[in-house]
Amino acid sequence: MTRTALVTGATGYIGGRLVPELLDAGWNVRVLVRTPRKLRDRPWADRIEVVEGDVGDTDAVRAALEGTDAAYYLVHSLDTGRRFERRDRALARSFARAARAAHAKRLVYLGGLYPDVDELSPHLDSRKEVEEILLDSGVPTAVLRAAVIIGSGSASFEMLRYLTERLPVMITPRWVDNRIQPIAVRDVLRYLVGAADLPDDVSRGFDIGGPDVLTYRQMMQQYAEVAGLSRRTIRPVPVLSPNLSSHWVGVITPVPSSIARPLVESLVHEVVCKEHDIARYVPDPPGGLVGFTRAVSLALAKVQAYDVATRWSSASAPGAPSDPLPSDPDWAGGSLYVDERCSPVNASREALWSVIESIGGQNGWYSWPLGWWARGVLDRLWGGPGLRRGRRDPFDLSVGDALDWWRVEEVDDLELLRLRAEMRLPGLAWLELAVDDGPGGQVVFRQRALFAPRGLVGHLYWQLIKPFHGIVFGGMQRGIAAEAERVQAEGRASRWRRSSNLPGTPGRPTA
């Protein structure tokens, strides 16, 4: 018999990753959201039931709970400002009333791991209060208490990422040596799915954490090692208060201050699991829980081998729970600098593509030859390939081909050429050249240069070369378009023909 789960917070970090996990586990999923259009690009959008409504609307929640076997409360108000505690309290009470009135069978709440102290930070105190409200609802409730969740898009992880990547030398507060028990997002999701099947007489909180207990200093050093960064110099001082620390984090990272401030204030506490009772109901996986360095590796995998979207809109293909999602906040997922240009071309797709596919080598790059030559010489001096490799064929490119200091990563005939840089760089770089359709059947040439910086040097490198982008990338845009128009005028695009053996399938150019 198929069971139904209600998920609140489905547009958020955990909720957006929990829904596909529940679907894969065989649940019917119903989501309660204020703005259903935010879900339309999710790959699982056509597999769920969407109910429009607010968590604070008791009647809407009660209606959404009808016929459900489990309900997930994944709502918080950190990003609403200083009075988030008041809003969290009101929403939790409203949800608890609705759940009791609808005779809900099971509630599951993801809260925060907190120590046994008299005074908690506002963030952890609010999480504890919401936990108590739901446990007192009269509905069997499972509360999962987690500390720092490791996965791309998690606010705590993004703070760790940006601080470590951007600051090789840090003056930090004393809390940098407080102990924390982080947990990988995939283990959090496994516990959330399993918590829906707890026995009816189990209504309590559970501490959940990974296998490692680390200080924040150790977490930053291990992150740096996994990310290929040099060891960070960290100097804790007693004069940095949580208030000053939150302002400091706001300057260094793009995480909004409304989120960073309560999270930083919570770092004054040591948060280590006091029990592992959840394993009695949701056993550890055969390979054990995911350790910190493995969780960081999973979170960085998408950036270290960046899956650049082949289209010019956000990709929505499902991935691992640790991967960034298009729905994550703009500040999540690490830094990616983009120089994007497009222009209409008075030429056919074949003419434009013939120029794109023959770029590099003896044909050059259609902009500032002296600049390309100088950059190639510098790359050689730094141990890179420079421009000496040229190209295998003057007209044809295949995936894996070397092209000067680039490597061909993808070729989609008449549509897209993606190149990955193999020059010496403080980061990862790609160049995309694409043929697109414009209004009225006009051909459009689109060009993107992407750079994922590594460490502070990577960020400085991008800023250093940014003034030259107009010469290099702007010149390339204009030069390729002009050459395509010359090819069209001279009829030379006829060398690029379609295969007679595969009608309608792009072939290769003939010399």
Residues 60 and 169 in one domain: yes
Whole-number Å distance between alpha carbons of 29 and 165? 38
Q: How far does the chain reach from its first CA to its final CA, in angstroms?
A: 64
Q: State residue 40's pLDDT score.
A: 82
The reply to whether 252 falls in a domain is yes
Whose tokens are 């910086």? That residue is 453
Say what the pLDDT of residue 344 is: 95
Asked if residue 505 is part of any domain, the answer here is yes
The answer to whether position 225 is within a domain reads yes
What does the alpha-carbon distance between residue 490 and residue 468 come to, in Å, rounded to a whole number?
32
Which of 304, 320, 348 marks a domain boundary?
A: 304
Flag whether 267 is in a domain. Answer: yes
- pLDDT value at position 254? 77
Separation of alpha carbons 301 and 87, rounded Å: 36
Q: Give the gyration radius of the chain's Cα atoms.
A: 27
State which of 304, 328, 347 marks the end of a domain: 304
| pLDDT, block means (10 residues), the chain with 511 residues | 91 92 96 90 90 90 93 82 82 94 95 92 92 96 96 89 88 87 97 96 97 96 93 82 66 75 82 97 95 94 50 42 66 80 94 94 89 86 85 90 92 94 90 92 94 86 90 93 92 51 36 35
Residues 261 and 343 reside in one and the same domain: no
Considering the domain architecture, whether residues 288 and 400 belong to the same structural domain is answered as no
Instruction: Give the number of C-alpha atoms closer than 13 A to the C-alpha of residue 12, restricted to the C-beta side.
Output: 20
Regarding whether 351 and 299 lie in a shared domain, the answer is: no
Whether 53 and 111 map to the same domain: the answer is: yes
Answer whether residue 230 is part of any domain: yes
Distance CA 449, CA 471 (A): 13
Q: What pLDDT shows up at residue 241?
A: 63
The reply to whether 374 and 300 lie within a common domain is no
- How many domains, the chain? 2
User: Are 250 and 395 contained in the same domain?
Assistant: no
Say if 318 falls within a structural domain.
no
Assign residue 35 the CATH number of its domain: 3.40.50.720
In a domain, 309, yes or no: no
Contact between 55 and 75 (Cβ < 8 Å): yes
Is the domain of 279 the same as that of 404? no
Report pLDDT digits (tens) over 386-437. Answer: 888 989 988 899 999 999 999 999 999 999 999 999 988 988 899 999 999 9
Claim to verify: residue 270 and residue 373 sit in the same structural domain: no
Domain that holds residue 375: 337-509
Are 494 and 349 members of one domain?
yes
Q: Which of 476, 209, 275 is nearest to 363 (CA)?
A: 476
Whole-prediction pTM value? 0.77
> Are 341 and 481 spatial neighbours (Cβ–Cβ below 8 Å)?
no
In a domain, 312, yes or no: no
CATH number, domain with residue 462: 3.30.530.20
Q: Are residues 247 and 349 located together in one domain of the fold? A: no
Query: Does residue 197 share a domain with residue 68?
Result: yes
